[in-house]
Amino acid sequence: MPLLWLQAFNSLMSRFICNSGTTRSFRRCLCTILAFAHPCLIVRPMMLPVIHSQAWLQLNNLFYLKSLGKRGAINSLHWVLLLLAPLCTAAQQEEVYSRKGYSLRFVSNDALLDPVVKNRMVETFFDLYPELTRQYNKYAAREVIFVVDTAYKAVAEACGGRVLYSADWIRRYPGDIDVVTHEIMHIVQAYPDGAGPSWVAEGIADYVRYIFGVDNEGGGWSLPPYSPEQSYTDGYRITARFLLWLEKEEQRGIVKKLDEHMRNKSYSDSSWKELTGKDLNTLWESYTRNSLIY
Ligand SMILES: [Zn+2]
């Protein structure tokens, strides 16, 4: 909704400027700025933070300078964007929720997003995120953005303080609510570049989903039992089950320690020996010999 208001405001401003008595170059300058405000509304929501970056300002400036030699080009572009923007923003919704020092901005371009599922996603965030930050990383982002995008074809991904969800996945698997749990753990992890292998990051996120998930059963999600074709480097549920076994059989608290090592970039193969007294392959071998979890 705020984007629609911005759109209306821009349209009104454009008319005002075109009818005002200012100089032509000044009008053209302002029209250029307004014209480039519209791509902010047209591009996929996942790009919004980028739009506000310096890079876009630079691009706008460059385009404006180039356009000075082409009379009328900017005005035509302006009107095309003006016409396209309402079509592209019609379905876009944005809401902000704040509770106990945490805020969630929820952006969706899916007009068919089930409000019940949306509400469940919001509730899951506020149920779990504060607790996960308390247990794993108290410096994790306080403001998080959820983006539901009809154009996104994978399931979900987290980057910085933002989680991108596939609108199609949510529609097909509305019960898979704990995809939220997995993704918000990635925000809590906040691992820097080069922190360590992705199988560790994904294994920890699925371990947390197993422990904290609000309805893994309803989502048809569980940890698969050990089988010989598995490897600890598989990540996700395979690694998560291995971590669960380690917590129970070898070293309670190892997941939090590994998470810390990843975040402060001290993770290496020797982290396992440091934390348990045994190297990773030895631990995995013990797991394969008796993988029951009590
Ligand atoms: Zn993940």
**Over the stretch 108-160, which tens digit does the pLDDT of each residue have?**
999 999 999 999 999 999 999 999 999 999 999 999 999 999 999 999 999 98
* 114 alpha carbon – ligand 1 mean position (Å): 24
Residue 185 lies in a domain: no
Same domain (yes/no): 117, 84: no
* 135 alpha carbon – ligand 1 mean position (Å): 19
Same domain (yes/no): 29, 66: yes
Which helix (H) or strand (E) segment holds residue 156: the answer is strand 156-159
* 180 alpha carbon – ligand 1 mean position (Å): 10
* 51 alpha carbon – ligand 1 mean position (Å): 26
User: Quick one: pLDDT band at residue 92, thresholds 50, 70, 90?
Assistant: confident
Same domain (yes/no): 88, 98: no
Ion ligand 1 neighbours, Cβ < 5 Å: 202, 205
Q: Is the pLDDT of residue 55 over 50?
A: no
Q: 265 — alpha (psi -120 to 50), left (phi > 0) or beta?
A: left
**Tokens 């410096």 -> residue:** 139
Same domain (yes/no): 86, 9: yes
Residue 152 lies in a domain: yes
> What range defines the domain where residue 243 resides?
191-294
- The total number of structural domains that make up the chain: 3
Same domain (yes/no): 73, 107: no
Q: Is the pLDDT of residue 225 over 50?
A: yes
Residue 25 lies in a domain: yes
Same domain (yes/no): 127, 215: no
Same domain (yes/no): 50, 128: no
Same domain (yes/no): 288, 248: yes
Residue 243 lies in a domain: yes
Residue 199 lies in a domain: yes
Same domain (yes/no): 161, 205: no
Looking at residue 18, its pLDDT comes to: 45
Same domain (yes/no): 237, 272: yes
Residue 178 lies in a domain: no
Specify the CATH number for the domain of residue 122: 3.30.2010.30
Domain boundary among 106, 141, 171: 171
* 148 alpha carbon – ligand 1 mean position (Å): 16
Domain boundary among 35, 60, 92: 92
Q: Which of 9-23, 32-46, 54-68, 70-84 has the highest mean pLDDT?
A: 70-84
Q: Is the pLDDT of residue 96 over 90?
A: yes
Domain boundary among 137, 171, 205: 171
Report pTM. Answer: 0.72
* 132 alpha carbon – ligand 1 mean position (Å): 15
Characterize 249-284 residue by residue with b for buried, 16 or more Cβ atoms within 10 angstroms of its Cβ, and e for exposed: bbbeebbeebbebbbeeebeeebbeebbebebeebb
Dihedral over alpha carbons 203, 207, 208, 210 (to 10 degrees): 140
CA angle 26, 28, 34 (to 5 degrees): 105
CA atoms within 13 A on the CB side of 109: 21
99 forms bridges with which residues in the sheet? 102
Residue 179 lies in a domain: no
* 59 alpha carbon – ligand 1 mean position (Å): 33
Q: Please report, for residues 104, 145, 165, 255, the alpha-carbon distance to residue 93 in angstroms, rounded to integers and kept in the order given.
A: 14, 13, 14, 37
